[in-house]
A and B are shown apart, each in its own frame.
Chain A
Amino acid sequence: MYSRFCLLSLLLGCLIQLSLCSDTAVSVQGEQDHEQGNTTAKGRSGESRNKSSKAFPVVTVDFAHVRSPFVVALWILLASVLKLGFHFFPKLSSVVPESCLLVCVGLIVGGLLKTVGETPPILRADVFFFYLLPPIILDAGYFLPVRPFTENLGTILCFAVIGTLWNAAFVGVGLYAVCQIKGSGLEKITLLPNLLFGSIISAVDPVAVLAVFEEIHINELLHILVFGESLLNDAVTVVLYHLLEEYSYAPHIGAKEVILGILSFFVVALGGIFVGVFYGIIAAFTSRFTSRLRVIEPLFVFLYSYMAYLCSEIFHLSGIMALIACGVVMRPYVEANISHKSHTTIKYFLKMWSSVSETLIFIFLGVSTLAGEHHWDWIFISCTLIFCLIGRILGVLGLTFILNKFRIVKLTPKDQFIISYGGLRGAIAFSLGYLLNEKFPRILFLTAIITIIFFTVFVQGMTIRPLVELLAVKKKQDSRRSINEEIHTQFLDHLLTGIEDVCGHYGHHHWKDKLNRFNKKYIKKCLITGERSKEPQLIAFYHKMEMKNAIEMVASGGLPKFPSSVSMQTPRRRSTLSERLLPTLTKEREEEVRKILRENLQKTRQRLRSYNRHTLIADPYEDQWKQMLLKRQRLRSTDQRVSVLLTVPTSGRESPPGMKSGIESDTMYFEPRDPASDMPMITIDLATPPSKESTDTQNKDGEDKGIVFAANESGSPSQRVQRFLSDPGPDHESDDHLQS
């Protein structure tokens, strides 16, 4: 209760500040030049006066020169505090999706600003397209699940291209027919402006889809179908928009214009993809050399993607497709090259930016509603709504009927309903409408667009969740990918490729296999640093998994924890294993261990050296702790045979290429543990990675050495490291290890 009260007061404070500074903004705005002249004059005269009689002003208020960044920062702060606030009201946030709440808040803020007496800011199209949209799309593209996307690519393209064209035509022609009805007062709007309006309003919006679908967790197939469609229809929208705007008041449309339009579509779509791929490859290539300066790795990812977007905007190509292509192409190579911390940074920055963008977009939608003028026409707007809904349903039904003849996994009527219901419109439509030339009935169009957006966001957004529950649509499976699935999927891939070869049929699997081979042979060598270029995918996956486990195990307090979502162990088995894994120490060993720990732990923690912007230095305290852990481990392993260590190669120092992974040791992992508790611990050995390009600088800086699963350099045979969770089968296996 108290926290809610604090939050509310914080919110109110933000709102009041905002209105206040907008107030002063307006009053300054009109007379800014005049005032500036005044102030400088005053300043000079003030100075002279100062020199003579006035005391030096100890406290001054000069808001004008910080106004812009201040207002921007305040808006973002307001948006973030609001987002925070929603989660304090769980009942509200489970019924109403976040986007609705944000639009409402925007309406409230807009209303407040209007009552204060000045114009609230409108969502400007250039701000939207250059600053607010790219983070969301990049976040979507970088983390796009490529496998389901490529498996369903045909379906997605059909929906995106043919579906959008059909929607635009249906709405445009329908509205034209309505406009022709005598007495509606809309006869001035000819066919082409109607078609233009249709093309603006028919595009499914990725921002809205993301905002709503994120919260309902439907199964992967439906999610990727609707989401993929919303991304790929950008090309269609761009072409239609520019084409129709060019030609809308032209005398007549001939075959030439249609052909040019089709050609333009291919240029826009393929050109956008090409630009994205180009920048993606350059980004991957750059990341190959960043091992010496890890701090700026995330920056390259962001900058290259943004450049791809801007470059494609220069040529009026599809910026969204460029961003998606860049993210998808860049990701496998960049992830192989960058450190683990950079990877986390990229992930969290992208999520943060896209979250802020989304919030701002929805709030501004609400504010802009109250800001602009409106021209409400019952007939036009209600017909738009009806045609949009019907057009979408018909389009989806028709396309699915045709597509199901070609698909292996058919789309059920339930799926079709969700796809048609998920056709949400959003801020892209609004911005495109805002950019319209004055020769169109812009205000009417804008009002209609806003109405449709409100309808989809509120009505469809709120009802989709209960509908999903009602229809019992399959939900997203939460489990992580197990190593079983990974192995068997690869196995099946090879098997199917073989069978296709036997049939002589060059299908889907055949080409995928060829692409993989090409990738392995040529591309990986160029774009991935050093040794990791030869690492097979399975090994990389396995190491990622082991790492996650290790982190979980340390974070959870040292008890062996199997991947919970994946393990299908019965409880009985789990307890016996954990019993077996808890080591037993003799009394005197325990005393020795305690003594060592006490000695080492009593040293107070040294202060970190002054922060250097160019390197990330490890905490010096950590080195001591690690050494102590190693000592302790050696002591313990002399006593028992089964210890909990991560698997290590017994081939000594030369760890195979795949074993390098760039985890820095965080201080979190090294909290002092009760030495008496017989908890298994992980030894994390910092050793220099075998990367050719960075061996010199690594040792000095203490930077990013990575976890290398290297053998303990102990000499005695009894300390030979055992396998983690080894097969408790026949005894001769462990004997082998002792002797090898």
Chain B
Amino acid sequence: MIATIWRRAAPHLSRPSHPRAALAILTSHTLTFSTTTQTPSPAAKMDAIGVLMMCPMNTYLEQELDRRFKLFRYWTQPKQAEFLSQQAESIRAVVGNATAGASADLIDALPRLEIVSCFSVGLDKVDLARCGEKGVRVTNTPDVLTDDVADLAIGLMLAVLRRICVCDKYVRSGAWKLGDFKLTTKFSGKRIGIIGLGRIGLAIAQRAEAFDCPISYHSRSKKATNYTYYSSVVELASNSDILVIACALTPETTRIVNREVIDALGPKGVLINIGRGPHVDEAELVAALVEGRLGGAGLDVFEKEPEVPEQLFGLENVVLLPHVGSGTEETRKAMADLVLGNLEAHFSSKPLLTPVV
């Protein structure tokens, strides 16, 4: 017990081996604290740490940030540039997500920025290079949302192929008459092509295997799996009934699904996007769906959320979701706890939980 108290109160001093001596020093009020090696009790200090939250993303997270830190809500500032220049000296952390993160401009405007903690696994809204240059740490929320996103991908596939949303709407309209029916297409056994065989891609593959779906994939490099690898996305699309985007968004993967890929997927093929809107050439996708050149699509993400191309609203072969990939009570809380945990670790000089940079 004395060791624990010593670690907290005087880690910069060597502890005498005799407990009484140690106790004497601890109670003597002669301890001095160096700000470079010692952090006083975390709660007291962190109250004053400015954290900039970029947009509304989770009520629990917002409340906890407010409670534990000095929270600034970026989206409530009427004049954001002015706000930044006024508060620049206080802000030491940014909390971003898939909608808004930390651009180079923002990073440059916050000279005391030490850490960007993302409420997402995707980092496409964070200028990682600039963070690296300036020694700004970056964390995200991997693993905790893998299952939810993979579940949603399969849910989208079933919803599109079996027209579940169309059916629900039909019954609710009161229009169901006996003998009125449409045949859809079987999901089991369909060839699944996965772009990006990371955590989420693998989780999708494992679920699809339970439906006897043959799995192929495209990735930057071949992985040690038995799934069939294709070195080009076009080839993958040509050999798939359902193409699902599960890779990170980078300059290289922007518009990885373009006209050529859509053509290869074809009038019976289905595209599932649980990655990022910019993975797909959205205009080409909409045209292909409207013209019947693509069989269907299940989309959780769009180029300019929350805008969704209205030409899709009347189509029965699409399912449109408002970016809910990680949208469960359980997972959002786990993500929020990771954000908070990473921030507290950083400001307590402890190892980050899920660092990226």
Whether both chains belong to one complex is answered with: no
